[in-house]
Structure 1
Amino acid sequence: MTDAPTLQALARALERSQRRVGELEALVRQLAADVTTLARSHPSAGASDPAAGEGGRPVGGWLGVSDPDVATGGLQDLMSWVEAVYLWYPDAELPSCWLWHPAVVEELWWLHGAYASAFDESAGSWSRIGDWHERFRPGVVRRLHAAVGGCELALHTPDSTLLVPPVAPLPDAASGIAHSWTNGRRLPEPTPYELLAAARHEREQHRKNHR
């Protein structure tokens, strides 16, 4: 028959064991919460990043995308968002040729990313949502109206200047500029050829802006 001191010792040992089990359970719950938080802030490769938009569209821009699959998925995701969110605002209008304007796609691409980031359940905030409503969306609307207001798909004909890729003015001057700038922060005097090229460029810009 077990004596009283032995029973008391067993009871104390059992109490300690139960207390340690409780502490371990609490630690496991905390570790699980930490893992979830880390997974949200550092998604693994191939996982969907809420800040990058629905469908896992990577952070970046339309103008720099080079993978056809990424471009296709990004545009499909963007079109769904444009219909679900952007076009519900009364001042948000898009011409029929919006997909033919890389700058328009770029503007909406990042606006979509900013929207996803602001409204994300773990990283978003009311302040970021307010910024999206007050600054980001109205800014994009203004720029799109100024850039493509009045345009339509019929204007994107083979002889249209809209289909000509943009070229940075005077690319041949880059080497001389680079050497002069890195050698005493000086800029070279324009050559006669560069002045003629600049004049042609400015005439083209004038015709483009007043067509």
Structure 2
Amino acid sequence: MSSPTTVDDEQLAALVRSVERNGRRVTALDALVRQLAGDLAEVAATLVPEAAGPDPVRSWLLSQDPEQAVTDLADLVGWTRRVFLRYPDAVLSACWLWHPEVIEELWWLRRAHAEAFDPKAGTWLRVGDWHDRQRPGVAKRVRAAIGTCELSLHRTGTAHARPAAPAPLADHAEPIAVAWTKDALAPRPEPTDEQLHEADAYMRQQHRRT
């Protein structure tokens, strides 16, 4: 028969072993929790969108998304009233929306204005460049493009109603490209009789338009 002391020692030893086992389990569980936390953080990083950066550069002339075009043009209309038309040399004819080249000019000027005055990325140097060079340049070109135009000149059959003309002699671009890549220092290919005829017809057409 075991003595009370022996029993107590055995119970104590069993208790120590149990505590050790539980300690190892807790340690393993703690490591597992840390691993799961790291895995969850990685998953969350893939689900949370990146912080919004600057607006992408977009050309009005290359617009293909109607919804985006509507949004951009509405923004531009508001900006012309708040900013562009505040300057005495800024002129917009009633038909300015019918001139895609004018919208393109105003659009880039509007975005340059936003960059110059951006609370984080803007600088006084950009602001000065916008006031001294960019805005006057666009105002001058817009005035030259539509200063004498009116909406009635955009009706069917008028000059402004015609679609943009293709680049002259565009069908002959391939041999020029091939010749250039073979030897950039060599003379350009000599014009053929066909090309000279097309060029002459193009010039006559241009004279008739003017």
* Same fold per superposition (TM over 0.5): yes
AA aligned opposite 1:188? P
SS in 1 for 2:61: helix
Give the equivalent residue in structure 1 for 2:141.
Answer: 143
1:64 Cα shift? 1.2
Matched, 1:170 2:164: no
Gaps of at least 5 residues in structure 2 are 1-48
Instruction: Output the CA distance in 2 between the equivalents of 1:101 and 1:166.
Output: 15
TM-score normalised by the chain length of structure 1: 0.70
Give the equivalent residue in structure 2 for 1:203.
Answer: 204
The residue correspondences of 1:8-87 to structure 2 (distance < 5 A) are 44=50, 47=52, 49=54, 52=55, 58-87=56-85
Q: What do the CA deviations read for 1:94-141 (whole angstroms, capped 9, x no partner)? A: 111111111000000000000000000100011100000000000001
After superposition, the Cα gap between the structure-2 partners of 1:126 and 1:110, relative to the gap in structure 1 and judged at 3 Å, is same
Instruction: Output the CA distance in 2 between the equivalents of 1:69 and 1:153.
Output: 25
1:48 Cα shift? 7.1
Instruction: Output the CA distance in 2 between the equivalents of 1:44 and 1:170.
Output: 47
Instruction: State, as a whole percentage, how many aligned pairs show the same letter.
Output: 50
After superposition, the Cα gap between the structure-2 partners of 1:203 and 1:78, relative to the gap in structure 1 and judged at 3 Å, is same
SS in 2 for 1:63: coil
Give the equivalent residue in structure 2 for 1:133.
Answer: 131
Matched, 1:107 2:108: no
1:44 Cα shift? 3.8
1:205 Cα shift? 2.9
TM-score normalised by the chain length of structure 2: 0.71
Larger Cα Rg: Structure 1 or Structure 2?
Answer: 2
**C-alpha RMSD of matched pairs (Å):** 1.8
Instruction: Output the CA distance in 2 between the equivalents of 1:181 and 1:110.
Output: 33
SS in 2 for 1:124: coil
